[in-house]
Amino acid sequence: MFRAILLVTCIALPLSSCGSTGPSKEDLARQTEIHIDSARAYINMGEYQRAEDQARRGLSNAPDNLDLKLALARAMQMQRTTAKILHAEAIYRELPRDEDYRVALGFGETLERKGLAYAEAADGVRSGERPVPDPERVAAEHDATAMKAWAEAAKVFREGLEMKTSNTELMSGLARVYSLMGDDENALTWCQATLDIVRGDRDFWDTRLERDDLTDNEAARFRAALARLDELEVGLRLLAANLEVRLGNKEKAIVHLGKVIEIEPTLAQAYSLRAGLLMDLERYEEVVADIDDFLRRANLPFDNVKVQRAFQLQTEAKGELAAASAVGS
């Protein structure tokens, strides 16, 4: 349906100016709004090249429009190639960061992705997948570029929070980049702070859903908000679990993974991760149960390396249980 509306809109645009020397200011403004809405819709649909095209078309009419520049930069950063990420970075650098938190959010995310791209490049150089002269020097340069990008991303996310206090997208961005920089304590602090806000937001939307006069449209909108919170919380708790492991707190990591499973019980990865931690803590019965849950949900072939590791872990746990049983008898 949306595609049909877009097609009709695009065909109809030139007709508004038939019989005149050119589109009026009103027509141009209307066309600009259509391009903004279309670009945003394509971004939400995950069709980033189409979104980029719509943003560029709109900018040909309104080259100074902030919403179109943001849509263009967003569409390019989400395509995730290094060239597109760097182009998005260039766009964000030209936009005022102290007027609209969306600039800080998009810029910070772009810098985060830039850092990941250079970190992956460094790994490729070290592994030999990307042959270059003097690989150690090149890899070190890539690593330095990545760290610089993440440090700037943290600064930009903080700038955004000065305009949009308690924004969970900015806060979770800080948690991610501090984790990437190896600042686990700071990353965990931001994870927890964001989770606290998510908990409050969830209570708010749950309460709204309990209204007696709720319309179908409102119910759908509120459930969509809760689904977004679920997605955010799952990502935060997976990150928090990893951080707790790095900090030596495996019990706390297990709690986070348990919350992930409560929210998304079909996520096979969570069972596998928890099983490994439970094994380290010698909670063998729980290991066996989690591996069973992983295997039921993973939908992977028998010879997959993850499946084979899971079977090996479960065999070891069963062996420990058998040994303990033999000693007890």
Task: For residue 328, name the pLDDT band (cuts at 50, 70, 90).
Answer: low
Give the DSSP letter string of 207-235: HHHT-TT--HHHHHHHHHHHHHHHHHHHH
Which of 232, 132, 116 is CA-nearest to residue 179? 116
Dump pLDDT digits (tens) for 84-103.
999 999 999 999 988 899 99
Distance CA 23, CA 32 (A): 12
Mapped onto helix, strand or coil, the DSSP state of residue 329 is coil
pLDDT on residue 21: 63
Which of 53, 10, 7, 56 is CA-nearest to residue 30? 10
159 half-sphere exposure, CB direction, 13 A CA radius = 19
Average pLDDT over residues 48-74: 96
Dump pLDDT digits (tens) for 252-310.
999 999 999 999 999 999 999 999 999 999 999 999 999 999 999 999 999 999 999 99
Q: What is the percentage of the chain residues whose pLDDT exceeds 90?
A: 88
Confirm if 76 and 88 have CB atoms less than 8 A apart. Answer: yes
Dump pLDDT digits (tens) for 169-188.
999 999 999 999 999 999 99
Distance CA 48, CA 188 (A): 32
Distance CA 46, CA 40 (A): 10
Which of 178, 81, 175, 174 is CA-nearest to residue 120? 81
> Considering the chain, what is the average pLDDT of its residues?
93
Other C-beta atoms closer than 10 Å to the C-beta of 50 total: 18
Distance CA 111, CA 309 (A): 35
Task: For residue 191, name the pLDDT band (cuts at 50, 70, 90).
Answer: very high
Residue with token string 């930069």: 73
Q: Where are the domains of the chain?
A: 1-11+25-79, 80-165, 182-209+230-265, 271-329
pLDDT on residue 183: 98
Dump pLDDT digits (tens) for 126-161.
999 999 999 999 999 999 999 999 999 999 999 999
Length of the chain: 329
Distance CA 5, CA 320 (A): 63
Dump pLDDT digits (tens) for 207-239.
999 999 999 999 999 999 999 999 999 999 999
